[in-house]
Structure 1
Amino acid sequence: MKGFIPLLLIVFFVAYTDLLRAQAVQYGDSVEVSLLTCEPGDAVYARFGHSALRIRDAGGRDMSYNYGIFDFRTTNFYWKFLRGQTDYLLGVYPTEYFLAEYRERGSIVWEQVLNLTAPEKQKLIDLLNENYRPENRMYRYNFVFDNCATRPKVMVQDALDGRLSYESAYAADTYRQLINDYISNDAWLYLGINLVFGASADQTVGKGGASFLPELLRNDMQRASIVGGAGDSHPRPFVKSTQMAVGPFATVVETTPWWMHPLFISVVMFFAGLALTLQRHKNSRTSKLFDSVLYGLTALGGVIIFLLSFFSEHPLVDANWNLLWLNPLNLLPAILIWQRKARKFLLYYHSANVLMQLAAGVVMVLQVQQFPVAVFPLVLLLLLRTSRRIKRLFTQLLERSTNGWKWKK
């Protein structure tokens, strides 16, 4: 969720790291435990919000436990990020610096004081101190199943004398639906994420599955109770009180202008391709250039999706049916369209490719996987231009004989 730590925060984090290596964090008897939920920001890295645990006592010690820290200076960081092999770590530092970041950003931070018993609080502190040891603090980040929101929840659950019980309001929603709620105002981000998500993103999250999104975790925890504890004859509300720790701020939602929207651009591309298909000079250089760019762009998108689907650890990107029309091999016709000697190969290739494009249409109709609306004109455009290429190559390379069709000499 949270991939950026301001320089000031880093300085204090490093300083407190050296201090806390020597001894575990200790608190007084008046300790309070809170779940901090930071509302989403405008930047891509802040789009889904953030969570942290806050522990403070009457003696003035007030620390935040933040599972959202990583070091972009790590060797081959961007390659590891692409492959889903980014390691995050637990940072512990004064809450005033944690809150200052969101105050400067203009993001509201909510605080839910948890209704834990003294033994539960102490067990949680012990678990966090153990997790903060240098050999334990780093973990393999997973956007859905192991992130800055799921980690605090798991730590608190492990500390309970009993179990956490709640009916999630999001159990029937899919991962794609929940994520789309946070990106729908940014049409290009929406398109990109929905292209790289595969069919697994259309599975329902089930009970507790929405906890990877901080705001949804906050909402579910507000309704949760602790049951089965040794001293509890009735369910105990999980949250004792809720207040705004930072804010309020005015919210301004910016949307993509219609003339820059991918749906508008894809419709324009479709009609441009239709015009080229209907023109008289069907073998014009413009027509070849259009198809070369079209196949090249779909190949580029296909390469990205192929790598994410088969060679990354990112969640929700496997079984991606977008590869039926975003074919990485489309790089071949993008180049060979200019080679006269490659016409026979291209006839075979386009014949197979058009079947894949038709299959993509079937997948869309049957809703095997959800597709962004903006891709529909592009799939139709590919079908149109590929069919036109097949027809032209067929007439150029084949002729009718008494025994049927044969290759021209």
Structure 2
Amino acid sequence: MIKKLLFTFLLFISFLGFSQNSSLSNQAKVSILTCGTGPESYAMYGHTGIRIQDTASGIDVVYNYGAFDFSTPNFIGRFVKGDLQYFVTNGSYIDFYYNYQAENREIIEQELAISSAQINQLFQQLNASVYSEERFYTYKFIDRNCTTMVVDKINTTLGKEYLKSRTTNQSYREVLYPYMSDFYLKLGIQFIFGAKVDEPVTRLFLPYEFKKSLSQTKIQGKPICTSTETVLKASNSSIPFAFWNSIYSLITVLVILALFGKKGVQIGYFTVTGLLGVFFMVVGLYSMHEELLWNYNALLFNPLLIGYAWCLWKENTKAAKLLAKIIAGCLAIYIVYMLDKIHLQIVWPFIVLHLYWLGKEVLKKN
């Protein structure tokens, strides 16, 4: 969903001389471009662009939301906090096409059935965004990204919220889950996400969900989408199965820890997992990303595990058993809460290991 800095910079300067006061002819067309996913994190969910084409005026431009500047001071800190400024760029369609061709990512184009006046209105609004301070916006993973910004622009042009989520009985987490093909990246994202992503989907925020909504939306009984065409086909590049990038490698490592993990291994493991719990809690309080708030995975990677590891190291069996009981109780709550969550299928190995080690401590005779 995020364009590479170099590409977006080139797009920006390539169309810098374009006048926002230009008007389009009656032949002008507007279409939504849905771009395929890629292996990189920024391309994991695809991308959405707006194409304005007017052969009479020699205009063929694509507008993109979701660009950012790596040179921003304290880039990582601002990204984590959630106040990093993103911006909109524009550039020629042919450059846009060749970029995605080089990345082997498909482009699907859907032409919109809106009036010439509405196309001109949208065109002026987009140019106003590009050539003013309005081009900057604070990125939010669900509420403000390359797709939601386009959805809002189209709905504003239509004068009504025609384009909206049609997903029912699914959470944001469930909608996002299939897009994550890299196992350990998927695992990390599931752990960092908090309770917000378990809420029912109410927002069009993913490119392919937006594409689907466009194909189903009608205005006064007529489809808003007049045509759908795959203008760039990507070659099949299926990722072969890799044991080391699967749940099987995780299970293998955790089984080895369970079978051969002496006290020193447990101390190290529980110290690290406890620190992860602290991280989840601190980031949730620090960050403005609502997706990170109320991270119940801290019940699995419980900060109390640091104290438990300390007691193991100091051989304080009484305190260790008490903490083990408390942490096991928290883990029981976590398990109940997780029963209807889709990511239970990949986090369960950690649950089993924790139950095994903590259970041994609780049942140990003094």
- Normalised to the residue count of structure 1, the TM-score between the two structures is 0.81
Contact 1:131 1:137 in 2 (8 A): yes
- What SS class does the counterpart of residue 338 from structure 1 fall into? helix
Aligned partner letter, 2:46: G
2-side partners of 1:173 and 1:29: how far apart?
41
Provide Cα deviations, 1:14-41, integer angstroms capped at 9, x if missing partner.
Answer: 3533x24x75454333211111110111
1-side partners of 2:206 and 2:22: how far apart?
28
Contact 2:172 2:201 in 1 (8 A): yes
1:343: Cα distance to partner?
5.2
- Normalised to the residue count of structure 2, the TM-score between the two structures is 0.90
1:268: Cα distance to partner?
4.6
The residue that corresponds to 1:37 in the other structure is 34
The residue that corresponds to 1:189 in the other structure is 185
Contact 2:67 2:88 in 1 (8 A): yes
The residue that corresponds to 1:101 in the other structure is 99
The residue that corresponds to 1:203 in the other structure is 199
The residue that corresponds to 1:146 in the other structure is 144
- What SS class does the counterpart of residue 172 from structure 1 fall into? coil
The residue that corresponds to 1:225 in the other structure is 218
2-side partners of 1:166 and 1:292: how far apart?
50
Aligned partner letter, 1:137: R
Provide Cα deviations, 1:233-289, integer angstroms capped at 9, x if missing partner.
Answer: xx232112222222x22222215523542354235524642x35xxxxxxxxx6122
- What SS class does the counterpart of residue 290 from structure 1 fall into? helix
Over 3 Å counting, the alpha-carbon distance change for 1:171 and 1:111 in structure 2 is same
Contact 2:34 2:48 in 1 (8 A): yes
1:350: Cα distance to partner?
2.9
1-side partners of 2:11 and 2:342: how far apart?
45
1:103: Cα distance to partner?
0.9
The residue that corresponds to 2:324 in the other structure is 350
The ranges of structure 1 where at least 4 consecutive aligned residues each deviate by more than 6 angstroms after the TM superposition are none
Aligned partner letter, 2:281: F
- What SS class does the counterpart of residue 319 from structure 1 fall into? coil
Q: Which residue among 220, 223, 242 is the counterpart of 2:228?
A: 242
- What SS class does the counterpart of residue 204 from structure 1 fall into? coil
2-side partners of 1:85 and 1:345: how far apart?
42
**The 10-residue stretch of structure 1 (315-324 or 105-114) with the greater mean CA deviation from structure 2:** 315-324
The residue that corresponds to 1:337 in the other structure is 312
Aligned residues: 365
Contact 2:284 2:292 in 1 (8 A): yes
Q: Does 1:261 align with 2:242?
A: no
Over 3 Å counting, the alpha-carbon distance change for 1:307 and 1:135 in structure 2 is same
The residue that corresponds to 2:54 in the other structure is 57
2-side partners of 1:196 and 1:256: how far apart?
25
Contact 2:20 2:127 in 1 (8 A): no
Contact 2:215 2:225 in 1 (8 A): yes
Work out which of the two has the higher radius of gyration on C-alpha atoms and give 1 or 2: 1
Q: Does 1:14 align with 2:13?
A: yes
1-side partners of 2:94 and 2:157: how far apart?
25
Provide Cα deviations, 1:125-169, integer angstroms capped at 9, x if missing partner.
Answer: 22223322422110011111111011111111111256626782x
The residue that corresponds to 2:294 in the other structure is 319
**The 10-residue stretch of structure 1 (293-302 or 67-76) with the greater mean CA deviation from structure 2:** 293-302
- What SS class does the counterpart of residue 197 from structure 2 fall into? helix
Provide Cα deviations, 1:194-217, integer angstroms capped at 9, x if missing partner.
Answer: 2222333222214xx2x2110110
1:296: Cα distance to partner?
2.4
1:383: Cα distance to partner?
2.3
Over 3 Å counting, the alpha-carbon distance change for 1:364 and 1:267 in structure 2 is farther
**The 10-residue stretch of structure 1 (57-66 or 355-364) with the greater mean CA deviation from structure 2:** 355-364
The residue that corresponds to 2:237 in the other structure is 252
The residue that corresponds to 1:280 in the other structure is none
2-side partners of 1:253 and 1:334: how far apart?
43
Contact 1:266 1:374 in 2 (8 A): no
1:108: Cα distance to partner?
0.8
Q: Which residue among 264, 270, 274 is the counterpart of 1:295?
A: 270
- What SS class does the counterpart of residue 26 from structure 2 fall into? coil
Aligned partner letter, 1:379: I
Q: 5 Å matches for 1:268-279?
A: 268-270=253-255, 272-273=257-258, 275-276=259-260
1-side partners of 2:20 and 2:200: how far apart?
43
1-side partners of 2:108 and 2:344: how far apart?
33
Contact 1:266 1:375 in 2 (8 A): no
- What SS class does the counterpart of residue 45 from structure 2 fall into? coil
1-side partners of 2:151 and 2:165: how far apart?
15
1:370: Cα distance to partner?
4.3
Aligned partner letter, 2:223: P
Contact 2:122 2:153 in 1 (8 A): yes
Report % sequence identity.
25
The residue that corresponds to 2:344 in the other structure is 372
1:223: Cα distance to partner?
1.7
Could you tell me which runs of 5 or more consecutive residues in structure 1 were left unpaired when the two chains were aligned.
228-234, 277-285, 396-409
Over 3 Å counting, the alpha-carbon distance change for 1:166 and 1:23 in structure 2 is closer
Aligned partner letter, 2:176: I
2-side partners of 1:161 and 1:83: how far apart?
34
